[in-house]
């Protein structure tokens, strides 16, 4: 585990940029530039791996449900909901694309009589549609009482890596993962429009390394999270 300030030291060692002269004026990359690069690497790594998963950050995971309104608005940092349950409900909602409701094949499997006008049905929500719009989700049926929808979800880092947060541990705290993020920072560093550092070949090599290692980490996490997955009739996973 390293702070951004400690990762900056490692970065300068790796790219042979340790002699900044008086006041750091001779560094090839400023501290601020590095923190911007690392912040982008932090977010890119999380987008690929979905490594950050929480059920406790209520600012992200508790969504307001309003009676007679099927729309719920997730926080912009939410990447993917893996579980959704109404506080007043007895079972989790099924998270599905709206195309499946349109096809109507869920009628028997889920015990809901899906008609061509399913968008108008009211009652206790059974489904959470997360591909309704880029920024909003939809409940079906339309809720008849106000409630709170509690999520378990993967999410993006909520704190940017900057000079101000350089001594704070980032959301991705495992050192091996941070080393992958450093490759992304180096990819951006060598694309800086400066004759002294611009190197597209080296930049591309660091990007390829980042993508390979981040995707390997994604597979590793997926195996850990889904070692066994009970299935009910119809081939629909229970969790």
**Considering the domain boundaries, does residue 230 fall inside one?**
no
Number of domains in the chain: 2
Assess whether 204 and 170 both reside in one domain: yes
Q: What is the pLDDT of residue 129?
A: 93
**Considering the domain boundaries, does residue 233 fall inside one?**
no
Q: Which of 95, 78, 77, 92 is nearest to 132 (CA)?
A: 95
Write out the chain's pLDDT in tens, 239 residues: 999 999 999 999 999 988 876 667 789 999 999 999 999 999 999 999 999 987 666 778 899 999 999 999 999 999 999 999 999 998 999 998 888 777 764 454 555 555 567 788 899 999 999 988 888 999 999 999 999 999 999 999 999 999 999 999 999 999 999 999 999 999 999 999 999 999 999 999 999 999 999 999 999 999 987 765 554 444 444 33
With contact defined as beta carbons under 8 Å apart, do 172 and 157 qualify?
yes
Show the domain range for 221. Answer: 4-51+160-225
Q: Which of 37, 68, 87 is nearest to 187 (CA)?
A: 37
- The whole-model pTM stands at 0.84
- Tokens representing 184 are 């992304």
**Considering the domain boundaries, does residue 239 fall inside one?**
no
Domain boundary among 133, 155, 177: 155
Q: Kind and range of the H or E element at 167?
A: none
Q: What is the pLDDT of residue 98?
A: 82
């Amino acid at each position: 585990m390293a702070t951004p300030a400690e990762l900056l030291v490692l970065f300068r060692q790796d790219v042979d940029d340790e002699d900044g002269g008086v006041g750091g004026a001779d560094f090839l990359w400023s501290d601020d530039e590095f923190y911007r690069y690392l912040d982008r690497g932090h977010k890119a790594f999380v987008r690929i791996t979905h490594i950050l998963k929480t059920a406790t950050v209520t600012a992200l995971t508790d969504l307001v449900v309003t009676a007679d309104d099927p729309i719920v608005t997730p926080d912009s940092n939410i990447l993917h909901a893996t579980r959704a349950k109404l506080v007043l409900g007895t079972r989790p909602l099924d998270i599905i694309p709206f195309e499946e409701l349109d096809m109507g094949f869920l009628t028997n499997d889920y015990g809901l009589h899906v008609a061509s006008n399913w968008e108008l049905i009211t009652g206790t929500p059974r489904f959470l549609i997360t591909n309704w719009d880029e920024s909003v989700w939809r409940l079906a049926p339309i809720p008849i009482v106000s409630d709170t929808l509690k999520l378990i979800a993967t999410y993006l880092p909520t704190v940017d890596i900057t000079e101000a947060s350089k001594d704070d541990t980032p959301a991705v705290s495992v050192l091996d993962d941070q080393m992958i993020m450093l490759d992304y920072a180096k990819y951006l560093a060598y694309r800086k429009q400066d004759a002294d550092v611009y190197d597209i070949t080296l930049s591309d090599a660091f990007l390829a390394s980042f993508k390979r290692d981040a995707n390997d980490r994604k597979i590793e996490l997926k195996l850990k999270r889904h070692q066994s997955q009970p299935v009910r009739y119809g081939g629909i996973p229970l969790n």
